Chain A
Amino acid sequence: MIEIAKLIIVAFILIGAFFHLIAALGVIRLPDVYTRNHAASKAATLGVLCILLGTFLYFYFIHDHFNSRVLLGILFMFLTAPVAGHLLGRAAYHSGVKMWGQNGPDDYKEYIEIKKSEKYQEYEAYRKKIEENIKAESK
Chain B
Amino acid sequence: MAKQVLLNVFLGFMWMFLTTTYEPVAFVKGYIFGLLIIFVFRKFFDSRFYLYRVFSFIKLALIFIKELIMANIAVVKVVLKPKMDMTPGIFAYPTSLEKDWEITTLANLITLTPGTMVIDISEDKKILFVHAIDIKDAKAEIDGIKESFEKAIMEVSRT
Q: Do A and B come from one complex?
A: yes
| Complex CA distance for A130 and B87, rounded to whole angstroms | 20
Query: A86 and B94 in contact (CB under 8 A), knowing A19-B72, A100-B88, A104-B87?
Result: no
> For residues 44 through 74 of chain A, which have their beta carbon under 8 Å from a beta carbon of chain B?
45-46, 49
CB of A130 to closest CB in B, whole Å: 5
Partner of B143, one of A22, A43, A103, A137: A137
- Cross-chain pair count, CB within 8 angstroms: 127
Q: A42-B75, A82-B111, A130-B127 are in contact. Are A108 and B94 (CB under 8 A)?
A: no
In the complex, are the beta carbons of B87 and A107 less than 8 A apart? no
Residue in B88, B111, B139, B140 whose beta carbon sits within 8 Å of that of A35 in the complex: B88
User: Hey, what's the 0/1 contact readout for A80-95 against B, CB within 8 Å counting as 1?
Assistant: 0011011001100100
- Give Cα A107–Cα B140 distance, bound, in whole angstroms: 16
Give how many A residues have a beta carbon under 8 Å from the other chain's beta carbons.
Answer: 47
CB-defined contacts of B19 to chain A, threshold 8 Å: none
Kindly state whether residue A8 has any CB partner on chain B within 8 Å: no
Q: What is A's interface to B at a CB cutoff of 8 Å?
A: 19, 22-23, 25-26, 29-32, 34-35, 37-39, 41-43, 45-46, 49, 78-79, 82-83, 85-86, 89-90, 93, 99-101, 103-109, 111, 115, 127, 130-131, 134, 137-138
Q: Which of A49, A85, A108, A131 contacts B111, CB < 8 Å?
A: A85
